[in-house]
């Protein structure tokens, strides 16, 4: 092989070792943190769904009123 080049197998193994090394550095959230974050996400999604529904209904009502004028 040419100097400075490594085989595909060596590169894959090196990549895998790097991934394992980085995963050991990760600080995983506690179960309580996951529950709290999930609750926040679901609450925000619910608020957005409700807001979208209200805007949709209001615009639908206004468009029906405008169409009925003509």
Can you give the pLDDT at residue 4?
65
What's the whole-model pTM score?
Answer: 0.62
Instruction: Give the residue carrying structure tokens 């169409």.
Output: 67
Asked whether 37 and 45 are in contact (CB, 8 A), the reply is no
- Sketch the domain layout of the chain as residue ranges: 8-69
CA 2/CA 21 separation, integer angstroms: 29
**Mean pLDDT confidence for 39-60:** 99
Give the model confidence (pLDDT) of 6-39 as tens digits.
899 999 999 999 999 999 999 999 999 999 999 9
What percent of the chain has pLDDT above 70? 94
Going by C-alpha positions, the residue among 24, 40, 23 that lies closest to residue 32 is: 40
């Amino acid at each position: 092989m040419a100097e400075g080049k490594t085989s595909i197998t060596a590169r894959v193994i090196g990549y895998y070792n790097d991934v394992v090394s980085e995963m050991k550095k990760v600080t995983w959230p506690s179960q309580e943190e996951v529950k709290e974050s999930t609750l926040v996400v679901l609450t925000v999604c619910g608020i957005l769904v409700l807001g979208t529904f209200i805007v949709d209904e209001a615009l639908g009502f206004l468009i029906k009123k405008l169409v009925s004028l003509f």
